[in-house]
A = this chain, B = another copy of it.
Amino acid sequence: MALHGRAVAAALDDTDPLRAFRHRFVVAPDNLIYLDGNSLGRLPRDTPARLEDVVWNQWGERLIRGWSEGWMELPRTIGDRLGESLLGAAPGQVAVADSTTVCFYKLAGAALAAAGPGRSEIVADVDNFPTDRYVLESLAAERGLTIRWIEADPYSGPTVDEVAAVVSERTALVTFSQVSYRSAYIVPTREISALAHDAGAMALWDLSHSAGAIPISLDGDGVDLAVGCTYKYLNGGPGAPAFLYVRSEHQERLRQPIWGWLGRRDPFAMEPGYVPGEGISAMLSGTPPVLGLTAAAVGIDLVIEAGIEAIRSKSSSLTGYAIELIDGALAPLGCSVGSPRAATLRGSHVALVHPDARELSRRLIAGGVIVDFRTPDVIRLGLSPLTTRFTDVFDGVDRVRRLLS
């Protein structure tokens, strides 16, 4: 028996206001059903030409002069663009450099170093993205701190009440992913940041699964610190540099642990003694990765051009449609939805829960439906609004149905 209704999906594609953006990306081979843009975004068509320009004309011909002709400012110029258009951050608070892991280490380290006496606890959840959890463990081990792990529902995420129950006058840092990497649950950013502040602690958010997928208001939500990656919904390419945000009012006081030359005031004076640079530049450490930054900028600009409100609107429709199909066609086959049913609480992927998720995802990938598996029982359907079609969702779910039938 076939799954009915592909015509509905095709009609949704036809009236999709963002449909033209798919052609701004490389989508070959066209029969690939790519539902993993939440892990690695597709290649923007403009990226190769931009890289070629930077490689041939800047590195090739301008050589070392490139550093005084824009390269040195890339972490901050790209950061400002990203911050203003997609993160709700006024200029001077965002920089792009290093990996998400290193950015997270720097900001968590800075927050912990600035915490008052007696503040020996970090509040986090057991389902935060692994690299964040491991970094917290390293900082806690090094500094003799305790992590208060919240065991949240793995198919949603930490609630305000759960956080309130563990935050106290001993808390130094409260940290979560804004959108859960497994369930896509949107953690209440403003409320939890306020809880942290009420207790005298700082809030650090990982935006890896929210940047480019949902509207973000770092300034407005009272966020102290944030990091995120640019290779998922921002389409920056494999291992693209990450970004970090430090709220203006904290920049003077916070000091990150990796004092490199590019974080120092007047780095080329090469003087003795580290003195932090102005504003967000004090959060930098090493030489900016120019090729990675170039590709990241193209991906970010494309998201800015499409507009985050339009992206969010399509994202909600795509994930809602996926849930509808799962409920109708896959629930009788032993599948369930491991993501919030309320669109306002859901990021841009859907967790499809099945006991044999690992084997199922392997077979899906072998058959050209690219998803990913997350332990113990989740297949993530990542629906990247600029490139994923409703017919892709339909075809992907239909493939699952056929494999399970």
**Chain A residues engaging chain B, CB cutoff 8 angstroms:** 26, 28-29, 32, 34, 36, 39-40, 42-43, 47-48, 51-52, 55-56, 58-61, 63-67, 71, 98-102, 105, 113, 126, 129-131, 133-135, 137-138, 142, 229, 231, 237-242, 257-264, 267, 269-274, 285-293, 295, 365, 370, 372, 374-375
| Of the residues B51, B56, B63, contact of A370 by C-beta under 8 Å | B63
Q: Tell me the number of copies of this protein.
A: 2
A sample of 29 inter-chain contacts (CB < 8 A) reads: A26-B60, A40-B59, A40-B63, A43-B59, A48-B55, A48-B56, A51-B51, A51-B291, A59-B237, A59-B238, A64-B370, A65-B370, A71-B238, A99-B286, A100-B287, A101-B260, A101-B261, A105-B258, A131-B286, A134-B261, A134-B263, A134-B264, A142-B257, A238-B287, A238-B290, A239-B287, A240-B291, A289-B289, A291-B292
Chain B residue numbers with a CB within 8 Å of A237 are 55, 59, 290-291
A239 touches B288 (CB 8 A): yes
A259 touches B138 (CB 8 A): yes
- A137–B260 alpha-carbon span in the complex (Å): 10
- A206–B66 alpha-carbon span in the complex (Å): 24
- A312–B370 alpha-carbon span in the complex (Å): 49
Chain B residue nearest to A68 in the complex (CB): B365
B260 touches A135 (CB 8 A): yes
Chain B residue numbers with a CB within 8 Å of A55 are 43, 47-48, 51, 237, 295
A40 touches B64 (CB 8 A): yes
Chain B residue numbers with a CB within 8 Å of A239 are 71, 286-293
Chain B residue numbers with a CB within 8 Å of A290 are 237-239
- A229–B237 alpha-carbon span in the complex (Å): 22
| Of the residues B36, B56, B65, contact of A365 by C-beta under 8 Å | B65
